[in-house]
Amino acid sequence: MNHTIPVSKSQRLQRAALICLAVLLAVNALVVGVTYLLYPGYVDTGEPNIVALAWRLLDGHAVYVPIDDETRITNLYGPYLYLIHAFALWAFGGLVAVGKAPGVLAMAVAIFATFWAARKLGVRAAALAVAGLAVIIILNLPMTVWDRPEAFMLMATALALTLMPTNAGTSGVAVRVFGLGCLIGFAMGLKVFAAVYFLPFGLLLLANDGFKAAVVSVLVAVTIVTVPFLTPYFDFTDMVGLIEVMSRKPDGDTSLSKLFRYAAYLLVPALVLIGIGWRHMDAATRRNVLILEIATAVGIVLVFYPAQKPGAGYYYLVPFAPLSFVLAAMGLKAALSASNATSGWVAIALIVLLALPAVPIEKRFFRNLDWQTANGVADEINAINQAYAGRTIEIGIGHGYDSYRTTYQRTRLVFAGHPYTLDTSIVIDTTAWGVMLNDATLAMMARCNTDIWLIPTGERPYDWLGYYGVDVYGQAFRDTFHSAYEKIESRTYFDIYGCRSLGGS
């Protein structure tokens, strides 16, 4: 009796600690997401582009335009990213918060789906899975709460967990086959290489449900990917042209050491706890765990290549997180079933060690939310829109890096019905990889396609070296702009340039 009492107390303490960690970390991640939802601006230059294209989709505009088009607004993301945001904007209206809501919701769904998939492993194991995912979300801020593909691919892999069989068998095969196919197709409709995130699930499906099931799942995925391209809004040829341009990106922008470190965040907890619980697993569970863990490691290595490209990063590994921590939970469950009291403390220690580097990342995220400036920019854009009613307005760029952030709120003008012809976030990439602004673009500026351009106050219009050290717009564009436009007013955040042929104002 005396020997079992401390073990029981230890288990109760472990259970309470893991539950507390899971609740605190999950709530913290959700609070971060909601805070960003309420923030009136954006933290990344690519976010408003997605929202603007989705809003235009509601008016029947194609998302993908030819690479030699006079406009430069198309980003290399799949159709489903734009369809998700278009639906939200259609349902709730053109607001900055609505444009960000799908990404935050996807993060929340990922947390809940991970819990749902792990709940049958026991309270402590499920708590571990949720806590681990919540930490990874914070470690990868802001990528896990923004509106770009990563949050949605994270959601897709977490949902795939709910289809995973605990043992080989035929129960629920149809749901698993079609559900997995839909999720793979959806993810590939966000980014074309996203199928690699489902390599573990695909191999498990093949091992447990057979070759025919795997083939059907692939066919479903291909169908889901194809459907948007049957509409006039997503031209496959134009998308391929953009893919060809982006394939010119050189290698080696993100250090391999950082990629290995973030891969370790995903792999080490699972390996440690599987190692502890391995001999207590039955044969079927061992086989499933082995398939999933090896395939996850292989998938992570495969993602290293796109992740180290310029403009990419370690956050490309995030979609592996739900499975990685459910595997860790499976190891913990096996160890606990054999009354291994140490395993619970190991799990707690792993979560705490992961949480330590997440603290400064979260603090930096909140510091970067400049509420005063974001609100000021929003108010000024709205005031200019009212002052120049009847004129078409867009936001351009100056010569400074700090001021570039004030241009992120260009969606406010798009929501108000203004044109959307040049997005610096796109021009940065296309000019860096050799597709310069063409004569059609210069002609568009010369004829004042847009009446008024807003340029950060006190700055030289379009005189900017992008993040890749390339003159983004070029001297010919600047000469054309100055020939067509003149500064007519200065405000706190923007100089207002009006078309000369219209008499400025």
Residues 287 and 417 in one domain: no
Task: Single out the residue in 318, 338, 367 at which a domain terminates.
Answer: 367
Angle (nearest 5°) at CA 138 between 249 and 350: 110
Tens digit of each residue's pLDDT (9 = 90 or more) over 84-111: 999 999 999 999 999 999 999 999 999 9
Closest of 199, 214, 217 to residue 293, by C-alpha: 199
Number of domains in the chain: 2
Q: How confident is the model at residue 123 (pLDDT cuts 50, 70, 90)?
A: very high
Residue 6, pLDDT > 60, answer: no
Residue 389, pLDDT > 70, answer: yes
Tens digit of each residue's pLDDT (9 = 90 or more) over 371-384: 999 999 999 999 99
pLDDT for the residue numbered 8:
62
Cβ proximity of 46 and 425 under 8 Å: yes
Residues 349 and 390 in one domain: no
Residues 395 and 340 in one domain: no
User: What's the CA gap between 67 and 243, in Å, rounded?
Assistant: 10
Residues 375 and 305 in one domain: no
Residue 27, pLDDT > 90, answer: yes
Other beta carbons within 10 angstroms of residue 459's beta carbon come to 18
Tens digit of each residue's pLDDT (9 = 90 or more) over 198-208: 999 999 999 98
Evaluate whether residue 107 is within a structural domain.
Answer: yes
Residues 348 and 380 in one domain: no
pLDDT for the residue numbered 257:
82
Evaluate whether residue 57 is within a structural domain.
Answer: no
- The whole-chain average pLDDT of the chain stands at 91
Evaluate whether residue 46 is within a structural domain.
Answer: no
Residues 352 and 404 in one domain: no
Residues 162 and 284 in one domain: yes
Residues 448 and 309 in one domain: no
Residues 393 and 289 in one domain: no
Among 27-41, 179-193, 198-212, 490-504, the minimum mean pLDDT is found in 490-504
pLDDT for the residue numbered 182:
96
Evaluate whether residue 242 is within a structural domain.
Answer: yes
Residue 467, pLDDT > 70, answer: yes
Q: How confident is the model at residue 4 (pLDDT cuts 50, 70, 90)?
A: very low
Which residue segment(s) compose the domain that 453 sits in?
371-502
Evaluate whether residue 51 is within a structural domain.
Answer: no
Residues 427 and 339 in one domain: no
Q: How confident is the model at residue 5 (pLDDT cuts 50, 70, 90)?
A: very low
Task: Single out the residue in 342, 367, 392 at which a domain terminates.
Answer: 367
Q: Could you tell me how many residues make up the chain?
A: 505
pLDDT for the residue numbered 171:
55
Q: How confident is the model at residue 241 (pLDDT cuts 50, 70, 90)?
A: confident
Residues 136 and 111 in one domain: yes
Residue type, 225: V
pLDDT for the residue numbered 239:
83
Tens digit of each residue's pLDDT (9 = 90 or more) over 142-159: 999 999 999 999 999 999
> What is residue 317's DSSP assignment?
G
Q: How far is CA 403 from CA 45, 397, 408, 429, 493, in A?
A: 12, 8, 10, 19, 9
Residues 355 and 441 in one domain: no
pLDDT for the residue numbered 252:
59
Task: Single out the residue in 345, 367, 389 at which a domain terminates.
Answer: 367
Residue 168, pLDDT > 50, answer: no
Q: How far is CA 476 from CA 466, 479, 501, in A?
A: 17, 5, 20
Tens digit of each residue's pLDDT (9 = 90 or more) over 246-291: 666 666 555 778 889 999 999 999 999 999 999 999 998 999 999 9
